[in-house]
Structure 1
Amino acid sequence: MSETDFNHEAIHTEQMKELLYIGFYILYLTEWVWHLVRLRNANAAYHAISFEREAYKHENDMEYLETRKMFNQYKTA
């Protein structure tokens, strides 16, 4: 696993902690289904999930987790 991949997954881990793990999975799946219906494309739906948008946007910033604000997945454009 590359450092970038590790950082991407570490961002997801922080998201999970904020939502007490089960909340993360419920919201992740709900968002994916919503975007799948809206976009009619599984790959596009995956990339539209707020959790993924945040993780992809900051995966190359190895210091991001030191300054990340809670629930930033909803603030990341």
Structure 2
Amino acid sequence: MKVIYNRLIPFKGFKCINLFGVLFVREGCFMSKHDLNHEAIHTAQMRELGYLPFYLLYVMEWLWHLLREWDAKVAYYAISHEQEAYDNQNNPYYLKTRKPYNQWH
């Protein structure tokens, strides 16, 4: 996965954003091996779903949870793609054994 450190993307207050498998990291932020694994899991999700469907599903699920919870942070952590990534970011072998569409299992 390509990692680009810069001052513009993501917006101030955010550490990184994964856009189409390229990781944009805010200059001055440190990416741990767990952070990189988390983003690699998202890249695997994007590849199996297709990039645009991934982002559409991601935003739709976030909006659904936001309407139910009225809390952006709670809605973010409730997204199935994030749950899979957070649950497995500390396992360096996860992507070798990951089953397709595991974010919904």
TM-score by length of 2: 0.71
d(CA) in 2 for partners of 1:4, 1:34: 28
Q: CA RMSD in A?
A: 0.3
| Percent of residue pairs bearing the same amino acid type | 57
Which aligned segments of 4 or more residues in structure 1 are displaced greater than 6 angstroms? none
Identify, as 1 or 2, the structure richer in helix: 1
Identify, as 1 or 2, the structure richer in strand: 2
From the CA coordinates, give the structure whose radius of gyration is larger: 2
Q: How many residues align?
A: 75
**Which of the pair has the greater relative contact order for Cα pairs under 8 Å at 6+ separation?**
1
TM-score by length of 1: 0.96
1:53 matched to 2:83? The reply is yes
Alpha-carbon displacement from aligned partner over 1:24-73 (angstroms, at most 9, x marks no partner): 00000000000000011000000000000000000000000000000000
